[in-house]
Amino acid sequence: MTISDSTVAIIGIGNVGSTLAANFAAGGQDFLLAGRDLEAARKLASTFDGHAEAVSIDEAVDRADVLVLAVWLDAFRQLIGQYGDRLAGKVIVDPTNPVAPDGNGGFRKVIGEQESSGQILAGLLPAGSRLVKAFGTLSAGTLAAAARPSASRYSATCTNSAPWAGPSPSPRRWRRSDVVSLGTTPAVCGHGAEAGTRC
């Protein structure tokens, strides 16, 4: 596996994380893969034809320029709290929705009706990091079904950074190329503060 100058890591190997990892590999993208259970991450990585390298979460945070945090919202907050300034300068991709199991086989929203999880998370990140909300409009099953061979499904994307043609490497530019490499088409729907309302 060859990791490029813009190293991508997926943290989380549940339904969404494993599906994104499979789609990355199918699109020819090399990436780091991390989870709480390193052995489980190694087992999953071994199925991706050399495109994935299983690492600890600590190593993923240190090595990656782009971190896809495919975890529940509470775990996302905990990761921000744990790694703090080590996230500065990185693009943080959030494929989550602000929900949690309700104990009855369904899900419940875990923030206020008028609150935006994108705005909450962006406010917790250190200066210099960039948050991109992407893939949250597609379930794991839909992501798997929509990817390859044609990018016929749209993944709504919100960001707290500059436009596509901004002077610095913006998360919108990264998401346009890498959302397509996952087999879906990016539909930019606004600023990160609007995530959960427009995304």
DSSP state of 188: E
Is residue 22 in a domain?
A: yes
Task: Tell me the percentage of the chain whose pLDDT exceeds 70.
Answer: 65
Is residue 65 in a domain?
A: yes
Is residue 37 in a domain?
A: yes
Distance CA 177, CA 32 (A): 18
Distance CA 141, CA 108 (A): 20
| CA-CA-CA-CA torsion sign (142, 72, 40, 42) | positive
CB atoms within 10 A of CB 92: 23
Is residue 188 in a domain?
A: no
16 pLDDT higher than 50: yes
Distance CA 13, CA 120 (A): 24
Is residue 180 in a domain?
A: no
Give the chain's domain count: 1
CATH number at residue 61: 3.40.50.720
Is residue 88 in a domain?
A: yes
What are the pLDDT digits (tens) for 103-157? 998 888 888 877 888 888 989 999 999 898 887 655 555 555 555 444 444 344 4
Range of the domain at 55: 8-137
